[in-house]
Amino acid sequence: MTRAVIKVGTSSLTAESGEISLDAVAKLVAELAEQRTLGHEVVLVSSGAIAVGMPALNMQSRPTDLPTLQALAAVGQSRLMRAYDDAFAAFWTDHGPSTDDAIVEQVAITLAIDSEDDDSGANDESTKPTDEPSLTLRWSAAEVLRRRGVHAVREGLVPPEAYQVSLFLGDGARAVFLQDADPCAVKPERLAAVVRRARERFPSVERVTTYGRASTLARRAPDDLALLADAGLTRVHLGLESGADEVLMAVDKGCTSGDLIAAGRKVLEAGLELCFYLMPGLGGRADAAVHVEGSARVIREVAWSAPPLNPPVVRLRTAAVVPGTPLGARAAAGGFELPDDVEIARELRDLLTQVGDARFELRSDHMLNLLQELEGSLPRDRARLTAVLDEYLGWPRADQARFAVGVRLGVFRRLADHDDATRRRALEARFAEYEQPSAGELLEAASALRSRFI
């Protein structure tokens, strides 16, 4: 099969106004389709994204700075691709395509650097298009990224999206994450098609995961979630935050503890993995007890219905107050007091007791958390995890406070680091210019530092 590479300039695709000329696109599509029906592999190299983006952003003249050009291209590219996709769909509808003929794929490319001063090797033969018989050609952007890494993005040699794709492919293209507030709100049949397409397009993918809202999942029929599992979805990430209805209402979660239990059970019963995200401290000081009690109840109810080989995972994301958020406004008005790290350690100690014999995996894998070593399988590791909390809670308050600040500053990571003389000197050096703060002031500072990780 021979390859036809066709380059189209901006003026061939747009009207005088800068808008896409649908007639011009339709004519071009007919010519491309003719080449395809003659047995040629067709690659279209199309300009026009920036020009098409200008009317959408009410810009009269073409800018010269890279950030604005990238913004215009980002806006225009979707419109340009939509025009091509619609034109091809209309053409094949009229001419009766095969399935392969009807598929239109988009590949973003950035050509090699053309500079005598560049010593990156991006101008050598390895950066030119290969002769592989595939529409998804390996253009020079891949080589530029390999040699220059993130610097290629900073220098404007390739778009940021290309760098992200290179990381995905470089890591073996093993995991796909469907990012959005609630992909599970999409019709199950459509979402299943997306999952299947991801696995077909990237055969190396080992898992496909997605966010999901409890209010949506609780309404889904078991067959809907089974359809997603059959399509290749492996895990649902679900924000638990709290299992106490009082706390859920206070943060306007949009669901009840009953919804969380129903959603978690349905996910597990469909054969999918479930990952809950719990926020210690979200109840504030006033509702700390009900926050722990309700959260433990939801975890128990869901975990008890889990298959033996598929227990839920509970990930900790300690609450923080960020100015400009509703929780920040409540705190500023005196309606919410954020527990300090010592109080949150007590919450977690109580939680481990109240979950009883529920089987689940506990993960503390975020810088928001004071004790990232608090990981294990429950109930098997309860004694070990409780001992970690008891050790910290048994320290003098001054040591508790200094450790909390040290964790937020990156000096400490584990409790054992507190006994490291070098690390302790490094922390004390941070306080050298200040009067010795009290333990309470340090804990307050640690809570403030926590918000920087959001």
**Three-state DSSP class for 300?**
helix
- Which CA distances in Å does 89 have to 33, 103, 104, 193, 443? 11, 9, 9, 18, 61
Nearest-angstrom CA–CA distance, 122 and 126: 8
- Residue 297, CB-side half-sphere exposure with 13 Å CA sphere: 16
Distance of CA 186 to the CA centre of its chain: 18
Q: Which residue shows structure tokens 């406004």? A: 329
Mean pLDDT of 107-133: 38
pLDDT of 150 higher than 50: yes
Q: Which two tokens mark 234? A: 């492996």
Instruction: Supply angle C-alpha 49, 45, 42, rounded to 5.
Output: 135
Residue 241 pLDDT class (50, 70, 90 cuts): very high
User: What is the 3-state secondary structure of 211-259?
Assistant: EECHHHHCCCCHHHHHHHHHHCCCEEEEEEECCCHHHHHHCCCCCCHHH
Q: Compute the Cα dihedral for 406, 409, 415, 417 and give only its sign.
A: negative
Residue 50 pLDDT class (50, 70, 90 cuts): confident
Mean pLDDT of 27-43: 77
The pLDDT of residue 415: 96
Domains assigned to the chain: 1-107 (3.40.1160.10), 175-394 (3.80.30.10)
Q: Is the pTM of this model over 0.75?
A: no
Q: Which residue shows structure tokens 């958390």? A: 369
**Three-state DSSP class for 273?**
strand
Nearest-angstrom CA–CA distance, 267 and 288: 28
Backbone angles phi, psi at 101, to 5 degrees: -65, -30
The pLDDT of residue 300: 97
Greater confidence (34 vs 200) lies with: 200
Determine the angle formed by the axes of helices 222-231 and 188-201, rounding to 10 degrees: 10
